[in-house]
Amino acid sequence: MSHDMQTFLADTFREWQISDGPITGGVLIGDGGLGIDSLLLTELETRFYTEFGVELESADVKRMPLMTVDELAALLADRAQGVT
C-alpha cells in the first residue's frame, strides 16, 4: 500500500508542479525540502479523503511538514488500512 501512496503523492506533487526534477523519498515535505505550505497540506488532506475515503487526524496534518516523502507515504498507507 505504501507504493500506492508514493504514486498518489508523486501524481499530486507533479500536478502541483512542486519540483522540476524527481522527488526522492528522503526529502522533507515542508521548509528545507519541498516547501509545501499549510494550504497545500489541507488540499492534500482533501484529496486523500476523496481518493481513499479516510479522514486524517489534525495531529497527522500538523506533523506532515516535518516528515519526509517516504514517512508521509507510510503514514497515509497506515491510515488507509485503518492503523492509528
Residue 58 is part of which domain span?
A: 2-9+25-80
Q: Is the dihedral of CA 15, 26, 54, 62 positive or negative?
A: negative
- Residue type for position 82: G
Spatial distance between the Cα atoms of 24 and 59, rounded to a whole number of angstroms: 24
Number of domains in the chain: 1
Residue 20 domain-assigned (yes or no): no
- Domain annotation covers residue 63: yes
Rounded to 5°, the CA angle 32-36-54 comes to: 130
Per-residue pLDDT of the chain (84 residues; tens, 9 = 90+): 566 899 999 899 999 999 878 889 999 999 999 999 999 999 999 999 999 899 999 999 999 999 999 999 999 999 998 876
Give the pLDDT confidence score for residue 37 in this predicted structure: 93
pLDDT of residue 31: 94
Q: 17 in a domain, yes or no?
A: no
Q: Is residue 15 part of a domain?
A: no
